[in-house]
Amino acid sequence: MSLECFKPLFDSFPWLLLQLNVEQKGVFFSCFLGFLALLWCFIRNSNKGLPPGPKVLPLIGNLHSLDVSSETHIYFASLSQTYGPICRLWLGLKVGIIITSSALAREVLKDKDAIFANRDVSAAGREFSYGVNDLIWNPYGPKWRMLRKVCVRDMLSCSNIDSVYALRRRELRQSINYLYSQKGLPVNVGEQMFLTVLNVMTSMLWGGTLKGEERASLGAEFRHVVTEIAELISIPNLSDFYPGLAWFDFQGVIKKMKLLLKRFDKIFESMIDQRQKLDRNGVGQESKDFLQVLLKLKDEADPKMPLTMTEIKALLMDLVVGGTDTTSNAVEFAMAEIMNKPDVLRKLQQELDTVVGKDNIVEEFHIQQLPYLYAVMKEAMRIHPALPLLAPHCPSETITIGGYTVPKGSRVFVNVWAIHRDPSIWQNPTEFRPERFLDNKWNYSGNDFNYFPFGSGRRMCAGIAMAERMFMYSLASLIHSFDWILPEGETLDLKEKFCIALKKKIPLVAIPTPRLSNPTLNSNKGLPPGPKPLPLIGNLYSLDPTYFASLSQTYGPICRLWLGKKVGIIITSPALAREVLKDKDTIFANRDVPAAARELSYGGNNILWTPYGPKWRMLRKVCVRDMLSSSTLDSVYALRRKELRQSINYFYSQKGLPVNVGEQMFLTLLNVITSMLWGGTVKGEERASLGAEFRHIVTEMAALVSIPNYSDFYPGLAWFDLQGVTKKMKVLAKRFDKIFESMIDQRQKLHRNAEMGDGVGQESKDFLQVLLKLKDEADFKMPLTMTEIKALLMEMVLGGTATTANTVEFAMAEIMHKLDVLRKLQQEVDAVVGKDNIVEESHIQQLPYLYAVMKEVLRMHPATPLLVPHCPSETCTVGGYTVPKGSRVFINVWAIQRDASIWKNPTEFRPERFLDNKWDFSGNDLNYFPFGSGRRICVGIAMAERMFMYSLASLIHSFDWKLPKGETSDLTEMFDITLRKKIPLVTIPNPRLSNATLYE
């Protein structure tokens, strides 16, 4: 064999020789050849116990086989045909081990994974990774585990990827729009996909930092740098295979990589500087990008294992370089294979047309409904795995694999490309046939070593979820939006070119022809899609969360309704909910106040309906700090206890008889709320007599707020009050106002008498007393008025009764439907409280299963299933669509909390899913937020939590429950502004405490 194949190794470092005179060159080559001769002697004496392999050439071993002009993965596969599933190469002074069977791959990547979890770091890789400070090249150990945790948990988790869906959507729509502008013209598919994926990655990395042209202008520079970096990492470098020569950097690889790294570093420094400035100035809190996450993690890191700025830049490098080439190459290969198989293209388009429709565009939520597309992706990754030899592994100790010695520090190549084409595993392995994956037998978990395109074990790719989404979303959009043909006279070529990542040898150039019915579908401009409106009334005929959920199946996670002349926007995904409630919270912090709500809130003067601003902040502060704080709630525990004991006593008096649970819980909670509001003001029968009147008023008010009112949707008709909603609400509000005036008058009389020295009223601490005191002490610039006090009382009575009562009723119905849950609850309460004792509020912190039951009830039956509608203060973009100023925005928390992609068996009542305490009511995780999120999150969470837990624990502990004979448990929901049971729960209580006096 000639040394001609070794020539490229020398061609890349003439710059060094040009600096030497003739005599110096002679000395250099004499030393160099002498050094190689010594290495040759070493190699010849070091083959004992190693796997078989090809004959070693003098001086260079088998280094010629890594020539960049050859197809290394194919050459390695051919070696396995001669030498078996494990064979050896000498790469200079380093041993290379090639694994080409699933059994031996399992041995390396699973059985002995800890030993092979390190990397043989190349000189180029060391520079690229800021001195081995990234995830790809970092040695296995605590630092690597910390970095992987940062990537998997804090950056590339499903929830974080969801949260930046709008960025992906925007960039892909721009790409599709570009292809539409090129209709009928040849397009380089791989190049366009590279730029698309690059824009997606950089948008997710610092999408909230750079805007417009400044971000877009980075595209060309990044593509050039990424391409050069990939080539430098792939070059066989003498510095890697002859460590003694590393200092000389003969080929200039390190020098070139340093120059490229400086260009990247300049960009990273600029991004980091801008992000830190924005954060210091308090600007940019609405923009959530990965750089913001990383900088926050750096500030909060454990001092024993800090996340450094160098590591942040190294991780950014991993994501930019690792997340672009591989995905764009995979999509290009898939497109080429599909165009080579017209029947596959036809099946794909039929599936997309059925699921998406030709009058709609592909959204990411569609991809879960596209099994054939999923099979196409798997087949493309089988034939053309992104990293055909994976990233080389390096054993931390000498070990035996397949009966042969694998030395410590050797470079181990796992030829996944060859395993994926093994005819003993795959029928017709070179044929592109997606049907082989339709049985869902194969996945990307890395557990089956016949198919593992993303690797396996500890060093498995951390970005699988991201790659999967980008591949599916991109390919679906390309296939759905266009028909594709080759330019005239061109033929399709599927040859591969080996680099660190596999790419097409000849780029795919194809002509797109639009196939959607409406060319404007690919534009980012305009309202979200939605159903066709009816004349005059638009889509006003249904405002139900189940209907809204069905709309999302057709039109996507953001869709539009016309509610008369008003635009309604429905959000049905955690990512877009985050965009509204977190990222753009200040814009969406207002309410679209209906006419009925304006009346019941005394002209929008309560927490729920007051516009966002100083007045709202003052009212919220009053509620959170002075009325509903933990200390204030503790101070009125005696009132809660008294009312709940009276309710338990009532149930005891009805033992053996059917009882309407929801009705009784409503009255209990109403008595609790009114006791806390003015419990020290009204005594005995006078307070109790208010119960029936209040329940009637509350029920009627909730119905009026929920009625679709023409006055709200046709502003020009508001004056006429055609449905009489405003008139009816005024009448009801007057009845409340009369009660409030009476309570306030009595409280003020008691206060005046106390000031005169008779001591009346000093022992009674209730919320009305607190509010009147705050009114007297209020800042004159932001006074608390008597109107606002009455509005807050109204809100407490309305908001604190029906919602909690309905939730307790749903909980009882679900528990009676699941007797094993009832049994577990009673066992837990008996263990903590005892059957010779009654439940106290102090017990509930010791009842984790009861807490899980509460969370599960609120997941399945959130009190306000669409939250209280939000209203943007300015026209903005959500999910790539326009949301007009003043529109009514519904967040369908009911649908999100039943989303099968988030929750396993979402319609099953299974409290166990909450036992790990992963989920809370903070509103930070937009997969679970029953009380809302952001500035307008419910202020009464602490109160609702206490009352639910205390009430349910008392009911479950005090009684066994059974349905009346012949009755069945019905869980059908009825939508109001709050969610309630359609058929009231009527059930029979049977006492279970050991001492009857405990019920007194």
Comparing 391 with 693, the larger pLDDT belongs to: 391
pLDDT of residue 286: 45
Could you read off the pLDDT of 679-709 as tens digits, one per residue? 655 555 555 556 566 767 777 887 788 777 8
Question: Which residues have a Cβ under 8 Å from the Cβ of 211 and sit 6 or more positions away?
Answer: none
pLDDT of residue 13: 44
pLDDT of residue 762: 45
Determine how β-strand 973-975 pairs with β-strand 979-981. antiparallel
Report the range out of 47-61, 102-116, 560-574, 744-758 with the highest average pLDDT. Answer: 102-116
* Residue 646, pLDDT above cutoff 80: yes
What is the rounded distance in angstroms from the CA atom of residue 412 to the CA atom of residue 107? 12
Count the neighbouring beta carbons within 10 Å of the beta carbon of residue 297: 18
pLDDT of residue 538: 74
Could you read off the pLDDT of 231-252 as tens digits, one per residue? 888 778 888 888 777 788 888 8
Mean pLDDT of 518-527: 62
* Residue 10, pLDDT above cutoff 50: no
Mean pLDDT of 788-803: 86
Question: How far lies 526's CA from each of 520, 565, 714, in Å?
Answer: 9, 16, 22
Is residue 921 a contact partner of residue 933, using CB atoms and an 8 Å limit?
Answer: no
Comparing 6 with 410, the larger pLDDT belongs to: 410
Is residue 722 a contact partner of residue 738, using CB atoms and an 8 Å limit?
Answer: no
Q: Which residue, 862, 857, 863, 955, is CA-closest to 659?
A: 955
In 323-463, alpha helices (H): 325-340, 342-355, 371-383, 416-419
Return the CA Rg of the chain.
35
Comparing 33 with 827, the larger pLDDT belongs to: 827
How many helices (H) does the chain have, and how many strands (E)?
39, 24
Sheet containing strand 590-591, strands side by side: 558-563, 566-571, 888-891, 870-871, 590-591
938 annotated ligand-binding residue: no
Could you read off the pLDDT of 302-357 as tens digits, one per residue? 778 888 999 999 998 888 888 888 999 999 999 999 999 999 999 999 999 998 88
Question: Which residues have a Cβ under 8 Å from the Cβ of 760 and sit 6 or more positions away?
Answer: 750, 753, 754
Is residue 797 a contact partner of residue 690, using CB atoms and an 8 Å limit?
Answer: no
Mean pLDDT of 394-406: 95
Q: How confident is the model at residue 676 (pLDDT cuts 50, 70, 90)?
A: confident
Task: For helices 218-234 and 253-280, give the axis angle rounded to 10 degrees.
Answer: 140
Is residue 558 a contact partner of residue 571, using CB atoms and an 8 Å limit?
Answer: yes
Question: Which residues have a Cβ under 8 Å from the Cβ of 294 and sit 6 or more positions away?
Answer: 150, 154, 155, 307, 312, 315, 316
Could you read off the pLDDT of 837-895 as tens digits, one per residue? 999 999 999 999 999 999 999 999 999 999 999 999 998 888 878 898 999 999 999 99
pLDDT of residue 62: 83
Half-sphere exposure of 760 (CA within 13 A, CB side): 12
Backbone angle region of 882, left / alpha / beta, with phi > 0 → left and psi within -120 to 50 → alpha: beta
Q: Which helix (H) or strand (E) holds 400?
A: strand 399-401
Could you read off the pLDDT of 132-168 as tens digits, one per residue? 999 999 999 999 999 998 888 878 888 778 777 777 8
Mean pLDDT of 811-833: 93
Share of the chain above pLDDT 90, in %: 40
DSSP, res 966: T
What is the rounded distance in angstroms from the CA atom of residue 962 to the CA atom of residue 227? 71
Q: Which residue, 695, 721, 767, is CA-closest to 598?
A: 721
pLDDT of residue 407: 95
What angle (nearest 5°) sits at the alpha carbon of residue 713, between those of residues 536 and 802? 130
